[in-house]
Amino acid sequence: MSNRHIFRLSGPDTHSFLQGLVTNDVNGLDNGLVYAALLTPQGKYMADFFLVPDGDAVLLDTHGDQADMLRQRLGMYKLRANVTIEDTSLHLHRGLGDPPSDGFADPRHTEMGWRAYRDSPQTDDTADWTALRVAHMIPETGVELTPDTFILEVGFEAIHGVDFRKGCYVGQEVTARMKHKTTLRKGLAKVTVAGDATPGSAIMAGDRAAGTLLSRAGNNAIAYLRFDRAGGDLQAGDATVTWEG
C-alpha cells in the first residue's frame, strides 16, 4: 500500500475525458469505486487503477511504478479538455469486512475488502493480500499485468474491470473482438503447487512450454497457461503443478 500514487483529476471535462480513455464505465462512480485500465491502441495493458469519487473531482489510485508514465500519457490525451491532473499526498488504507464511513468496497471481488484515502499512512494492516488475490484470481500490477497483457486473458471481465456497453475507449476494438470473435487459448488459471518453485518459473508439459508460475501463496498459485498444453502432469522447477481445468 505504500507503493500507491493518488492523483486528483478535476475540471468540467473530467468524466467525459476519462470515459473516452478507460476500459470501464465512469458513470459507475455514482455507486463507489470503478476499477479500470488504460490500454494501448493495440489493446494491450498499460496501467490499471481505481477511480474514486471525490466531490466534483475524481481520485485516481494507481501503482507507484506507473505514476510517471500514467501522468505523461493522460497529459498527452488531454489536449484541449478542461481537466487538471494533480498529485495528492493521500495514502491508501485497506481492510476486510464492511467499509468504514470514509471507505469504499473493492469492486473487484467481495472478499477483497475496502479501500479508503487518508492524510496519514496506514500502520495497522495485517491482511494477507497475496493469499486473497490468489484465492480469487485477482491479477497484480507488474506480476500478472505486464505490457504484454491482453486484459481478457487475465480475467478483467470477471473482476469488473471492463464494460462492453459503454462505447469507445483506447484499445476497445481489439478487446471487443477478443470478447465476441475468439476463444481464449491462453490466460490466468488457479493451480496447486507441490514442491519448490518460485514465481516466474516456467511451467512445462514434458519438453513443451505450457506457461509461467506467477503469484504464489502456500500451495496455491496463479499461473498463466496455454490451455491446450495444460492437461496432465505439469512441472515448474522441482515442483508438480496441477490445474483442474
Tens of pLDDT, residue by residue, the chain (245 residues): 579 999 999 999 999 999 999 999 999 999 999 999 999 999 999 999 999 999 999 999 999 999 999 999 999 999 999 999 999 999 999 999 999 999 999 999 999 999 999 999 999 999 999 999 999 999 999 999 999 999 999 999 999 999 999 999 999 999 999 999 888 999 999 999 999 999 999 999 999 999 999 999 999 999 999 999 998 889 999 999 999 88
193 closest CA partner among 149, 232, 237: 237
Measured distance CA(146)–CA(221) in Å, rounded? 18
Buried-exposed string 95-118: b where 16+ CB fall within 10 A, e elsewhere: beeebeeebbbbbbbeebbbbbbe
d(CA 51, CA 34): 5
If one counts every other C-beta atom within 10 angstroms of the C-beta of residue 216, the result is 22
* Cα–Cα distance, 173 to 176 (Å, whole number): 5
209: nearest Cα among 225, 233, 197: 225
Cell 484465492 belongs to 135
Q: What are phi and psi of 73, to 5 degrees?
A: -70, -40
pLDDT at residue 1, as a whole number: 53
Laid out side by side, the sheet with 4-10 consists of 34-39, 45-54, 57-63, 4-10, 84-87
